[in-house]
Chain A
Amino acid sequence: MYFGIADFWVFLAYALCLASALICVVYGALKWNQNGDTTPE
């Protein structure tokens, strides 16, 4: 049992959902003020 979940593979999916969200949050926060490659020329 993993936090009440019977199958390790289902628990892994649950954990990876949260990990993926964390990756997105950390990436977005780190790049928040980094200027991008914006000109008509």
Chain B
Amino acid sequence: MENMLFLLVLVSVYLFGIGYLGYRGFRGTRTATDYLIAGREAHPFVMAMSYGATFISTSAIVGFGGAAAVFGMGLLWLTVLNVFVGIFVAFVFIGIRTRAMGHRLNAHTFPELVGRRYDSLFLKIFAALVIVLFMPLYTGVVLMGAAKFIEVRMGTNYEVALFFFSALVALYVIMGGLKGVMYADAAQGGIMLFGISLLIFFTYYRLGGISSAHEQLTELAHAVPESMAGAGHQGWTSMPAFGSPYWWTLVSTIVMGVGIGVLAQPQLAVRYMTVKSTKELNRAVLVGGIFITLMTGGAFTVGALSNVYFLNDPEVGLISIAAARGDVEQIIPEFIRQHMPFWLGDVFFVTLMAAAMSTASSQFHNMGTSTGRDIYESFVTRHSSGASILATRIGIFITFIISVTLAYVLPVYFEAGIAIVARGTAIFFGLCAATFIPLYMGGLYTRHITKSAAISGALVGFFASLFWLVFVHDSTASALQISNMLFGRSNIFGDTRTGFILWSHVDPLFVGLPLSIIVTAVVCFFTKPFSEEHLATCFKNK
């Protein structure tokens, strides 16, 4: 009872704080620019923490932390990419140019930025549709991760937890706009750092320190079940066997799909446009680097080390995935519930709430602005600022319904144990990378990409990725059943190999992105370049 009281007090204080910050955002929002991009005056600490807290969700902690309990510490390659590519390269080489071009073109959203850069209404609406149609999958799995943890910790019903949690997030986004979202994000980022730091410390400390913990995990290699060893698992401190199904899933989907996909995430790109100069972005590199290293590196290391705790527990004596009854997303919650002090479990409960809320709030905001700003305003020529905000708020409400419905349906439709949360995230990240990276990065760095090339590359990248997801990539193709209905097999390549390449386990990113880059480059040579006047508007002072 006392334990529950501590948790309720902690949650109440947290929710009151978030409510207050949402209200401050609401009071500080006077113009549509405030609502859409926080008035372009975000503080560097707020911006960096907001970027980090949006980047890291329950998906990273519960989803990928659980995946690390299965695949092992090889997942740390994703942390390397998250920090080096997702922070350093993203801020220094992409963020600075995005901010400058976004200001010059008066862009308030990612679709608006690419639409104005390429002077293309089609590209703007296409980018908005990709967000509105596919981001609900990513949002759905983030909400799912949170609701599953609430279910374990508070003993409530999954469906009830999901509804109330999602409604709370949607409410403060609808009211506070991006100012409210970013204020709350910064506070939530602070809570997340505190929670994960404690968890890393206790996990290592109870195993006798860093080297001792790693040695104990290494010694468990004999406990890898036959089924996992057959798929390439060689222990939790080793990479899976080169070319095995586990290796392809770890390297191509989890590490590369998310590690590269982060460069073209609409909800992160809009963050660059919220600061007024490059000084804020440079300062954000320091804060973001520390934040992402601790959040992802911590979650993945703890996930892998959870195997030592579960196996050495005389009452359990199983590896993590077996102890969590095959449910990848339940590994971290179960580990904390069974092996950490109760107060740390409560602190971590609030940490996960913060992680889920900060990501979901940005997703709702992004889907809403795509609906209101990018789609509604494109078709309604005479509109007021107020009507645009109303359309955005309605967009948030509609995508909220879709996301929550997906979070209800996914656990029922997919069998437990396939890491839906991690895979759902990787699908969205990979799809964005193949569709947007060539035109987005090319648009920032070169004047040579033509309007036709940008559109062709985006369409080829998008549809090639979608085809691969539906017909070839086994984990999604077998679940969707479309290939089975048309061709009588779960994926069209079966177990066909070309050398070390196992086609059914190659992530769509490895097909969609190269094709998109090639098509963009080739079409440039045959189509009309932009006028010098338009390019001067985009690249002034460059």
On A, residues with C-beta under 8 Å from B are 1, 3-7, 9-10, 13-14, 16-18, 20-21, 23-25, 27-29, 31-32, 34-38
Contacts and interface: CB of A to CB of B under 8 A. Distances in A.
Given A17-B83, A20-B80, A23-B84, A36 B73 contact: no
B235 A34 contact: no
A18 B297 CA distance: 9
B69 to A, nearest CB: 15
Interface of B: 72-74, 76-77, 79-80, 83-84, 87-88, 92, 100, 210-218, 221, 234-235, 237-239, 276-290, 293, 297, 541
B238 A28 contact: no
What are the 8 closest A-B residue pairs judged by CB atoms, nearest first? A24-B289, A28-B286, A4-B214, A36-B278, A36-B277, A36-B279, A31-B282, A4-B215
B289 A3 contact: no
A24 B282 contact: no
Contacts of A14: 73, 76
A27 B277 contact: no
A6 B239 CA distance: 9
Given A4-B211, A20-B83, A21-B83, A13 B73 contact: yes
Given A13-B76, A28-B285, A38-B276, A4 B293 contact: no
Contacts of A34: 279, 282
A10 B92 contact: no
A33 B177 CA distance: 30
A21 B289 CA distance: 5
Nearest to A29: B286
Given A3-B211, A4-B212, A36-B277, A24 B83 contact: yes
A6 B293 contact: no
B277 A17 contact: no
Contacts of B276: 38
11 contacts: A4-B216, A4-B237, A6-B218, A10-B73, A10-B76, A10-B238, A10-B239, A13-B76, A24-B286, A31-B283, A36-B282
Given A10-B74, A10-B238, A1 B283 contact: no
Given A23-B84, A24-B88, A27-B88, A13 B217 contact: no
A38 B281 CA distance: 11
B281 A36 contact: yes
B297 A27 contact: no
B92 A7 contact: no
A3 B73 CA distance: 13
Nearest to A4: B214
B80 A13 contact: yes
Given A4-B210, A20-B88, A10 B215 contact: no
B221 to A, nearest CB: 7
A21 B283 CA distance: 14
A24 B80 CA distance: 12
B290 A25 contact: yes
